[in-house]
Structure 1
Amino acid sequence: RALMHPLPTLEFENYELKRATISRYSLVKFDGNFYSIPDTYRPRYITLKILMDRIEFLDGNAIIAVHRRLAGNQKYSLDIAHYIKTFHRKPGAIPNSRVLAQADELIRDAFNRYYANDPKKFLPILDLIRETSPEKFSAALAILKEQNIHPTCDSIRFLLHQTNVLMVEPFDIEGGFEVLEPDLTIFDQFMEG
């Protein structure tokens, strides 16, 4: 024991850091595959924290995007929330975009059913993605689809911000109480003058 060195104070993490450039389409290329970055991010260079199963995209210490690491070549990992600003400038690009094709099935279904003819009306719904997690957003769309309700911005927002209401147990008053029959002629007198 006297010859052993003390344990390291830092926790070991198995990752590699690399610098990469961002294309004009808000994509970063790594290992022959492409990953989306939020289109609101302006710097040209970004740091990649490459782990075994995922890649974290860093600006300093802030994580601006996380993608599952892709195997293969020329594949895309796109997040529809990363392109909301672009779709506001070019709503006509939504129907044929690779981003919509990779989006959650419920988002694609809602767009194709109700907004394919007027993509501009879909933009407020895309804005709601930023307000919550993708899981909650998809759960709200699933409830609306199950109930066969048109997914509008208001109906989705209602479900996203709905809080659970605690049910109050009914109570029983022993012996009850007496309720007198009201005399409505008094109100007639008030109306007359």
Structure 2
Amino acid sequence: MAYVKNNIFVSGVSGTIGKKMNFRVTKRKTIVGIKRGPSTTPPTAAQLEARENFFTATLYAQGAIKDPVIKAQYQKAAKGAQTAYNAAFRDATSPPVIDDVNIGDYKGAAGDLITIRARDVITPKSAIVTIFSQAGVELEQGAAVLKETDRRTWIYTVTAPNAALTGTRVVVTVTDVPGNKTEKDVIVS
């Protein structure tokens, strides 16, 4: 392996020349080495999983940009020189983020509100709220409604009364357009 210093002909060059020499650039240095052959060690389970995730994200992004409505959403979310494909790929590889589950207005009565703040590359597809009693029995489950004025805020209206509020567990599951899910639990104290 050799380092190239102050050579205007190969400085910054990357790739293979003559099937023998390999040039690569790392930290502003051009490194010259012999061309590597294929790996002789089998891939690890983590490497196989990463390959599968990459393949799945690629298929999703290719399909997403074929739908004009979804493509427009991803194009709007694209940053800098990114394309709608890049934004769709990023969305497929990252789950949504739940920033906050506000149960301050939940007093155990029907009609109380639970507010969820969630974000992703584009607006998540759904937010499902499940409420469990202190004993672990499911009291209710339903979809939160996206607030029209704020595309990151979801509102869930409680439908079943809950007299024993302390210890109640509220589980929020947010799903994005590619199908990635994120779950967050909040215990009422």
TM-score relative to the length of structure 1: 0.23
| Higher helix proportion | 1
Larger Rg: 1
Higher strand share: 2
Higher relative contact order (CA 8 A, sep 6+): 2
